């Protein structure tokens, strides 16, 4: 309850940094899912599936940000999502080894 009371004012702010922080939640969960379940779950044999779910959830979060009038936060979500997609493409496609 204390953490909720601490972070709630930050989530109401409409700035770029808040959007970037909010959009990093789903990729972090996707990375943790891939890391923890890569040997046990069948779906993790396709290593990009959790990341595509994270991108889809970020796009839903982006839509909610624009519809609620938090344009700066939504731009932060968009920025972090596209940077994440570019990094995912570069490192998962083994462009740089």
Cβ neighbours of residue 34 closer than 8 Å, sequence gap 6 or more = 44, 47, 50, 51
Taking 80 as the threshold, does the pLDDT of residue 69 lie above it? yes
pLDDT band at 47 (very low <50, low <70, confident <90, very high): low
- In-domain check, residue 4: no
The predicted-structure confidence for 74-92, as pLDDT tens digits, reads as follows 899 899 989 988 888 887 7
Spatial separation of the C-alpha atoms in residues 37 and 42, rounded to whole Å? 9
What values do phi and psi take at 93, rounded to 5? -90, 0
- In-domain check, residue 24: yes
- In-domain check, residue 32: yes
The predicted-structure confidence for 4-30, as pLDDT tens digits, reads as follows 445 455 556 788 888 888 888 888 888
Q: Give residue 95's pLDDT.
A: 64
Cβ neighbours of residue 40 closer than 8 Å, sequence gap 6 or more = none
What residue has token string 């044999």?
45
- In-domain check, residue 53: yes
Would the pTM count as exceeding 0.85? no
Residue 76, domain extent: 14-92
Closest C-alpha among 58, 61, 67, 75 to residue 15: 75
- In-domain check, residue 9: no
- In-domain check, residue 30: yes
What residue has token string 């890569």?
38
Give the chain's domain count.
1
- In-domain check, residue 69: yes
- In-domain check, residue 3: no
């Amino acid at each position: 309850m204390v953490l909720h009371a601490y972070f709630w004012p930050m989530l109401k702010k409409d700035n770029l940094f808040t959007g970037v922080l909010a959009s990093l939640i789903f990729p972090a969960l996707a990375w943790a899912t891939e890391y923890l379940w890569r040997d046990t779950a069948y779906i993790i044999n396709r290593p990009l599936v959790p990341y595509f779910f994270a991108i889809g959830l970020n796009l839903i979060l982006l839509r909610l940000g624009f519809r609620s009038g938090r344009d700066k936060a939504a731009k932060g979500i968009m920025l972090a999502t596209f940077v994440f997609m570019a990094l995912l493409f570069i490192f998962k496609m083994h462009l740089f080894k």
